Amino acid sequence: MKQNLALFDLDNTLLAGDSDYNWSLFLIEQGLLDATTHHERNEQFYLDYKNGNLDIYKFLEFQLKPLSEHSMQTLNDLHAKYMDTVIRPMMTKKAQDLVNKHQAQGDLCLVITATNSFVTRPIAQAYGIANLIGTDPEMVNGAYTGGVAGVPSFQEGKVTRLNQWLAERGQALADFDVSYFYSDSHNDLPLMKLVTNPVAVDADATLTAYAEQQGWPHISLR
């Protein structure tokens, strides 16, 4: 039997909230970032993302810098606390049921997110999904530099990164008769247009309008 492919966006799709945006708020609450300057820039970047005009490299320079300022042990301890206090309350039963359904069908499941892989890998694993494509923070000698490694998995970058990931497995998107992509954001339209079964999830206004036009299903995981 041929395997199907199930792709899941993370923030505001599987999660009832944004793990990137809330990571910054969490670091502010922990006293590790200056509240005034960081909160203001975080809000502006989040607005730019929602409006579809985010400068991904400027954002990543801002978002990845804190990773370079702490040891891996400190970061992992912080993330464990972040998972318990912020992320688990955002994980919904409907989202877990959807993941479980695809896994029960034997589908190849993958979380594909613009958010960096340090923040998102433990979240994907908490949903029981082993495969993750996130924007990868650069590491040198076991420490984060604050830079980016490779192509950010954002907008068309998600298509590039998915194709690279599949190629490493000796596969291509065309090999799957059925491919799903669940997302809330118009930023994901480049990849949604390529799968056989795009599904809008609690979608923004732009994606909602496009999905209605195309006759795509629109579901809620909240």
State how far the Cα of 54 lies from the Cα of 46, in Å rounded to an integer: 8
Residue 154 DSSP class:
S
Written as one letter, the residue type at 68 is S
Rg (CA), the chain: 17
| DSSP-assigned states of every residue in 52-63 | T---HHHHHHHH
Query: Which H or E run includes 199?
Result: strand 197-201
Q: What angle do CA 84, 89, 92 make, to 5 degrees?
A: 130
Catalytic residues: 9, 11
> Which tokens go with 199?
């599904």
